[in-house]
Amino acid sequence: MSFPIYLKAQINRSANELAREKVKEYIVTKLFKEGSYHPVSYSELKESKQQQTDINWSIRHNFEIIDSQFVADKKIAVRKPYSFAFYLDKKLKVLTAESFYRD
């Protein structure tokens, strides 16, 4: 009786992991090629309610980009926090991203 529930939970976990990998790849190859990426948190993968678009899923992600800056002639690492919503197609490919200010 509990096997279908377990199977659905396993599929959801795999989809979440794949979405997280795709989002990370998108961040380091398209958004922030220079800085060092540090993940902070992910939301669960959510099915999109939008009709007539290619967007099937969304996921929120908080992360930091570690960038080096010169302060008083010294190079220091500066962590910059970011919060994004990523929108994915049915194959979990990132279609677009939307940023939110995070302090």
**Low-confidence residues in the chain, pLDDT < 50:** 1, 3, 5-10
**pLDDT at residue number 12:** 67
**pLDDT at residue number 74:** 85
CB-based burial label for 46 (10 Å; 0-12, 13-18, 19+): exposed
**pLDDT at residue number 15:** 87
Other CB atoms closer than 10 Å to residue 80's CB: what's the count?
A: 13
**pLDDT at residue number 6:** 42
**pLDDT at residue number 67:** 84
Residue 69 contacts by C-beta under 8 Å, 6 or more apart in sequence? Answer: 75, 76, 78
**pLDDT at residue number 103:** 55
